[in-house]
Amino acid sequence: MTGNRFSNHSYSARNVWSGVLFGIGLMALIDEIIFHQLLQWHHFYDDSTTQVGIFSDGILNAFALFAVVGGLFMYADLRRKHTVHMLKWIASVLIGTGSFQLFDGLINHKLLRIHQVRYTVEILPYDLAWNTAGFILLTSGILLLIKSKHRQAEE
Amino acid sequence: MHAHAMAPVNFAVFETIILLLGAGALLLYPSAIFLSNKKHRKWPYSRYIFWFSGISAATAALTGPLFEMSHENFTAHMAGHLLLGMLAPLLLVFSKPMTLLMRTLNVSAARRLSRVLNSRYGQFISNPLIASVLNIGGLYLIYKTDLFTMMHSSLWLFALVHLHVLLAGYLFTISVVYIDLTPHRYSFMYRSVILILALGFHKILSKLIYAEPPQSVSRQEGETGALLMYYGGDLIDFCLIIILCHQWYRASATKRDRSSQSYHIS
């Protein structure tokens, strides 16, 4: 743990920003590398894809690519200034990954129908597993963040 | 592509001119180094590697085997566009051509050039938003109108479109990352937002091409070409993102060390 007396309010917020951005980008990378490329469950495009879906997916993925790099450079900046609060950062990464996963599972897959988790199978168990995983990541991130706030208050 | 078969265009002259321009560019840069080294600090020869690779990438897109293939094959066409509109500009900007030009010109010519750069027009097109619209908007015109089919039956139109792809790609690159001489500067936040939007619209266009390729392109060719555009664009924009974030990282250290706010330009 490198969290210490130097950390003040603005650095505390930066820890959260850095973690959340990195988390969003990380989950987008996992989505792209594992589900699009390796397993090839996700399709690049399917005929149910809406125009709004193409639009929002393009912007979201561009943002996620920026986020993974920007989040890490912010982390490097925090380290350089000795203001990393590791527990808070990890909690924020979990929040980032969980919210991306849930957004992807609910908005992208179901509402905008950009593509499904997998094709030519019964989709319901896959959707349930996908969104439950997202929910667990998000809630554990939030719980951990609350814990880190308590710990910081005690210091 | 049947458009090409219908109206055969002789590209031999075009390729010869491109080769001459490329060779000229490869010679001009070291000549400028030679001339300016007499008055100024030694120019690092390593920058010639970037100039050489950038000019080679642009030339490879417009001459030789890849160019031959690109008339019939949409994926080869897309590979050429990645080289010309994205990779070549990124490589060229690292050779800092504007800085080299400024120190090579005599004082009055350099002053005139800087007046052009500082003009309202120069300021307007180097705004990242305007540069992105020129760059990505131009691509929408090529692939989402009949321009793609038309440019394959007119040599002038073809040359003009490809000149635009290179220039707009270069303008976009220098408007987002400040490596060369940059008169008008914008905040990291603004450039980041614009870069995300430009990359986003590049991805959107790739998917639109995947769903509905230009008229003269078959569905299957359109799909592979669009995938190359999507992931190739990702790769080069990933480099731009890393450069931009690294510049932010260096600049934010400067803020801590000195009380004044300044940017590192080396």
Window B:237-266, CB contacts with A under 8 Å = 237-238, 241-242, 245-246, 248-249, 252-253, 256
For residue A141, is it within any domain? yes
Instruction: Return d(Cα B198, Cα B135) in angstroms, integer.
Output: 9
Evaluate whether B265 touches B178 at the Cβ level (below 8 Å).
Answer: yes
Q: Which domain holds residue B203?
A: 2-257
Please indicate, yes or no, if residue B51 is contained in any of the structural domains.
Answer: yes
Q: Of the candidates B163, B162, B36, which has an alpha carbon nearest to the alpha carbon of residue B106?
A: B36
d(CA B117, CA B7): 41
Structure-model confidence comparison of residues A148 and B255, the more confident one: A148
Domain presence at residue A107: yes
Helix (H) or strand (E) holding B106: none
- Contacting residues of B for A80, CB less than 8 Å apart: 253
Residue B207 to residue A70, Cβ atoms within 8 A: no
Distance of CA B259 to the CA centre of its chain: 36
Question: Does residue B129 sit within a domain?
Answer: yes
Q: What is the mean pLDDT of chain B?
A: 91
In a domain, A155, yes or no: no
Torsion of CA A52, A54, A57, A59, to 10 degrees: -90
Q: What is the pLDDT of residues B210-263, one digit of tens each?
A: 999 998 899 999 999 999 999 999 999 999 999 999 999 999 885 554 443 444
Task: Say how far apart CA B182 and CA B117 lie, in whole Å.
Answer: 9
Q: What is the pLDDT of residues B169-193, one digit of tens each?
A: 999 999 999 999 998 899 999 999 9
User: How many domains does chain A contain in total?
Assistant: 1
Residue A3 lies inside a defined structural domain of this protein: no
Residues 85-104 of B with CB under 8 A from A: none
For residue A1, being part of any structural domain is answered with: no
Question: Min CA distance, A73 vs chain B (Å)?
Answer: 7
Residue B266 lies in a domain: no
According to the per-residue pLDDT averaged within each range, which of A4-18, A118-132, B2-16 is highest?
A: A118-132
C-alpha B210: how far from chain center = 23
Tens digit of pLDDT for each residue in B93-124? 999 999 999 999 999 999 999 999 999 999 99
| Residue A56 belongs to domain spanning | 9-150
Per-residue pLDDT band at A8 (split at 50, 70, 90): low
Q: Cβ separation of A69 and B237 shorter than 8 Å?
A: no
Give a yes or no: residue B35 inside a domain.
Answer: yes
B36: closest CA of chain A, how far (Å): 37
Backbone angles phi, psi at B179, to 5 degrees: -110, -45
A24 in a domain, yes or no? yes
Residues in A closer than 8 angstroms to B192, CB to CB, are 66, 70
Chain B residues near residue A83 by CB distance under 8 angstroms: none
pLDDT at A123 (0 to 100): 82
Token representation of residue A140: 């554990």
Domain total in chain B: 1
- The verdict on a CB contact (< 8 Å) between A54 and B245 is no
Spatial contact of B244 and A70, defined as CB atoms under 8 Å apart: no
Nearest to B252 among A65, A69, A77 (CB): A77
Smallest CA–CA distance, residue A30 to chain B, in Å, is 15
How many whole angstroms separate alpha carbon B70 and alpha carbon B61?
9
Q: How many CB pairs under 8 A join A and B?
A: 65
Among A98, A107, A95, A100, which residue's Cα sits nearest to residue A132? Answer: A98
Cβ contact B29:B100 at 8 Å: yes
Is residue A29 included in any domain, yes or no?
A: yes
B263 lies in some domain? no
d(CA B136, CA A85): 40
Among candidates A85, A86, A102, which has minimal Cα distance to A137? A102
Each residue of A27-68: pLDDT tens digit?
999 988 888 888 888 888 887 778 888 898 899 999 999 999
B140 Cβ under 8 Å from any chain A Cβ: no
ipTM for this prediction? 0.87
Residues in chain A closer than 8 A to B245 (CB atoms): 69-70, 73
Q: Is residue A145 part of a domain?
A: yes
Between residues B85 and B153, the one the model is more confident about: B85
Test A57 with B203 for CB contact under 8 angstroms: yes
Residue with tokens 């976009």: B172
